[in-house]
A and B are shown apart, each in its own frame.
Chain A
């Protein structure tokens, strides 16, 4: 209980009877269990108009249920991405310097930026991308994923009217919507033995609301389904299944028959392939993403295994309905085929070159990398020209560190590797960090700056870039002698953050670090091709001259 008190430090503690009064569905839970588990696990909050309930990027462990009133749910952080551009000086193009600034997809359309219309958040609504604001009313629940997986809050919630809310810990949430079977690892590590809750009518009510109000939007938010007419959407709405998955549950397995198409409603799904040395993660998918189309389109078995990383809810479209949709809407078929083709091609690319020093190659995560900054230690004079160039190119903040582990005679510098298993993506509350089909990491405009990706990157390659912004801040002025409070609105300078990682200086022909190296030591390479070709060259040596070998090392630069 001490733990409970720490987590719920504010609000009015609710007794079991009071809790049942606000959440009548809890009556379906046996009283003994309620007395045992629900005591002190929920508090009541009364919010005044304009008061902030929770802010995006904040860490938390609770969910909120709205008893009365409405709230605005929105994303504060500017919808933009960080871009570094050369600024021309009076001396012309060649003598330019670099400057970082925020820009949005309208003015700086990145070729593979997501064409989403909605941002998925930790609530039963999606936020329109052009104006990320929505309302939630009585009976709504938000913060479920934060409560279950401790991911940062995905959006800011502000009381639109005076509101009453119940803030609850996970045990109450489990009682209401049922708990998922924990994974074996969780079972082995957790000290508290939790009972199994099947859920109450509250869950069915939530699903009914989702099916009625959000599913259409959700389906429409997928670019593929944008061309479907209302009639067919209504048909899908009636026919799809809402499926809940436990942590580590396999949703579809590589080699199985393809029987459905899946759209992620909440949670994170890992897509992986089984290889002799273990699973290789291809990507992580979050709310709004979809999977399972390759098998259905090409009439082949599943090409990858999709596993629920945590508690995942998916919308399952059976194969028959999927085929019907493709038949009736050729535009949808065309789009799905394009995406499936790209995914299939990316899948085909992954092979391990024979002959590599596999121990180091795997232990240092080089197999996971697809774009490494290598420093040839036989050439490097430790002059740090690469670091200075990177700093000069990015407003004085270097995105690389000439430090790291060694592989053969190369130093693997600390700079984004575009990992094949991008752990940085696994806990983004708004799914703004994702990878392009070519597996390169991209941070979308709706990054809320919570820093979770930077924390998760095992190589310390993601930076949080601070930016000074002017923002409207409301300060409450309490009224004297019972007079109502007023709010003072003023513009204040605040620091917003955007995640960023090495951008490979894509606007330049060669990365600045490589260009500035006086000793031909810095190289940006695809490690598998780079080292793989060296191995191939060695095996060919019996029939060829030694002079061939260095040339192979020089071949595969990625930029």
Chain B
């Protein structure tokens, strides 16, 4: 919900006026000496002296408290309203607007109700919970104001959130399929520039025709790339991360032991060996990882450098495959970023909603105890 919007203006005015009115009542009753004489309350609004020394127990304090309690109940009903979407009892948007502004109004009401004191353990606990609820709610509001725009700018092609695991699996399947097209064979001649191949990761000198898997992938990036005006640039997909990359999370990257050999001197077998190595050691672990952002390829700059380096080491016939691999990693990085932003955008609710419920229960208990037990 974007708060800087003309639709919020009446609510802002209402809350400011209601707050000023509540303060005027409070000061007029409990500290009239601070008010200029022309602002003194009329007699009808002055309450009789109360037996209780606490503001909350006075009629005015009770009114503040009751209004705040009513707002809490209304605020809790937003959850119910969202569940029953077809009820034609005001748009959810209006409910949310009322939820935001009325709960903001509870800040002065609760403060005035408490008389600027925490009170006993019970009321202190309520105030603590109230602070958590309000802070988490305002934090959520700020996130909802800024994050959608940030998501739009940083994620040029979003997926449906629920489909992210499926798309990840598609990427792994595509990489596995490409890996399977390389035929393992006894060790051939060793390339000085290539990473040392293990016994299982050597390839034949023959060149197996390798089918591109791009046609089978229907990922958001793939779709967006087909549209004019939605082309994905390296800056937008590959977000440069400023934090240092954890080095211990994955095996060492395929850094060259010696300067890369020019493509002209690389053979198809060398190319396949290099790609197989890259797939086994970097790409497949990255695509299969639960937390891709902790892997080396999760870093856009590292990924860019790695693939540029690999392109130099393979023959022209294999460069398309390298680009395909790079697109998988870019896609995966974007999915990870979407997950991260999505979690940021919604995780505050896991604090806000249950604590609000607990607060409401305690407030009811507080009202019951103070009204009927004292």
Which residues of A line the B interface, CB within 8 A?
86, 93-98, 357, 359-360, 363-364, 377-385, 388-389, 392-393, 401-403, 405-406, 409, 508-510, 512, 515-521, 547, 550-551
A381: nearest chain-B partner, CB-CB: B144
Interface contact B228-A402, CB-CB below 8 Å = no
Interface SS of chain B: helix
* Known A378-B152, A519-B93: A360·B229 in contact at CB below 8 Å: yes
B:218-248 near A, CB below 8 Å: 220, 223-224, 227-230
* Known A382-B151, A518-B96: A359·B85 in contact at CB below 8 Å: no
Interface contact B85-A388, CB-CB below 8 Å = yes
Q: Which of B82, B89, B147 contacts A381 (CB 8 A)?
A: B147
- CB pairs A–B below 8 angstroms (24 shown): A95-B84, A96-B86, A97-B86, A360-B227, A363-B229, A377-B148, A380-B148, A383-B346, A385-B82, A385-B85, A385-B92, A392-B85, A402-B160, A409-B152, A515-B85, A516-B85, A518-B82, A518-B92, A518-B93, A519-B96, A519-B144, A520-B93, A547-B6, A550-B6
**Residues from chain B with Cβ under 8 Å of A96 in the complex:** 86
* Known A364-B227, A382-B151: A393·B86 in contact at CB below 8 Å: yes
Interface contact B87-A94, CB-CB below 8 Å = yes
The 8 A-B pairs of least Cβ separation, nearest first, read A360-B229, A389-B85, A516-B85, A377-B152, A518-B92, A518-B96, A363-B228, A378-B149
A410: nearest chain-B partner, CB-CB: B152
- With most chain B CB atoms within 10 A of its CB, the pick from A96, A382, A385, A547 is A382
Q: Is the C-beta of B34 less than 8 angstroms from some C-beta in chain A? A: no
Interface contact B342-A363, CB-CB below 8 Å = no
A401 CA to B82 CA, complexed, in Å = 19
- With most chain A CB atoms within 10 A of its CB, the pick from B5, B87, B342, B346 is B87
Interface contact B85-A406, CB-CB below 8 Å = no
Interface contact A98-B86, CB-CB below 8 Å = yes
Q: Is the C-beta of B88 less than 8 angstroms from some C-beta in chain A? A: yes
Interface contact A95-B229, CB-CB below 8 Å = no
A263 CA to B85 CA, complexed, in Å = 48
Interface contact B92-A516, CB-CB below 8 Å = yes
Q: Which of B87, B149, B152, B345 contacts A95 (CB 8 A)?
A: B87
* Known A97-B86, A382-B161, A519-B93: A360·B228 in contact at CB below 8 Å: yes
B:90-122 near A, CB below 8 Å: 91-93, 95-96
Interface contact B1-A519, CB-CB below 8 Å = yes
A96 CA to B89 CA, complexed, in Å = 11
Given contacts A377-B151, A518-B92, 4 further A-B contacts (CB under 8 A): A360-B230, A510-B91, A515-B91, A551-B6
Interface contact B85-A512, CB-CB below 8 Å = yes
Interface contact B342-A382, CB-CB below 8 Å = yes
- With most chain A CB atoms within 10 A of its CB, the pick from B2, B95, B223 is B2
**Residues from chain A with Cβ under 8 Å of B220 in the complex:** 403
**What distance in Å separates the Cβ of B142 from its nearest Cβ neighbour in chain A?**
12
A389 CA to B83 CA, complexed, in Å = 9
A272 CA to B86 CA, complexed, in Å = 40
**Residues from chain B with Cβ under 8 Å of A385 in the complex:** 82, 85, 92
A403: nearest chain-B partner, CB-CB: B160
B:338-352 near A, CB below 8 Å: 342, 345-346
Q: Which of B1, B92, B227 contacts A405 (CB 8 A)?
A: B227
**Residues from chain A with Cβ under 8 Å of B5 in the complex:** 520, 550
Interface contact A381-B345, CB-CB below 8 Å = yes
A383 CA to B140 CA, complexed, in Å = 13
**Residues from chain A with Cβ under 8 Å of B327 in the complex:** none
**Residues from chain B with Cβ under 8 Å of A392 in the complex:** 85-86
Interface contact B2-A378, CB-CB below 8 Å = yes
* Known A379-B1, A403-B160: A94·B89 in contact at CB below 8 Å: yes
* Known A401-B160, A515-B88: A378·B6 in contact at CB below 8 Å: no
Q: Is the C-beta of B267 less than 8 angstroms from some C-beta in chain A? A: no
Interface contact A379-B148, CB-CB below 8 Å = yes
Interface contact B148-A389, CB-CB below 8 Å = no
A361: nearest chain-B partner, CB-CB: B229
Interface contact B230-A406, CB-CB below 8 Å = yes
B89: nearest chain-A partner, CB-CB: A94
**Residues from chain B with Cβ under 8 Å of A550 in the complex:** 5-6
Interface contact B345-A382, CB-CB below 8 Å = yes
Q: Is the C-beta of B169 less than 8 angstroms from some C-beta in chain A? A: no
A228 CA to B70 CA, complexed, in Å = 71
Interface contact A517-B93, CB-CB below 8 Å = yes
- With most chain B CB atoms within 10 A of its CB, the pick from A94, A97, A381 is A381
Q: Is the C-beta of B135 less than 8 angstroms from some C-beta in chain A? A: no
Q: Is the C-beta of B205 less than 8 angstroms from some C-beta in chain A? A: no
* Known A409-B152, A519-B96: A389·B228 in contact at CB below 8 Å: no
A93 CA to B88 CA, complexed, in Å = 9
**Residues from chain B with Cβ under 8 Å of A384 in the complex:** 161
A384 CA to B89 CA, complexed, in Å = 20
Interface contact A515-B227, CB-CB below 8 Å = no
A382 CA to B164 CA, complexed, in Å = 14
A61 CA to B234 CA, complexed, in Å = 49
Interface contact B229-A518, CB-CB below 8 Å = no
B96: nearest chain-A partner, CB-CB: A518
- With most chain B CB atoms within 10 A of its CB, the pick from A385, A515, A551 is A515
Q: Is the C-beta of B7 less than 8 angstroms from some C-beta in chain A? A: yes
B159: nearest chain-A partner, CB-CB: A403
- With most chain A CB atoms within 10 A of its CB, the pick from B86, B342, B346 is B86
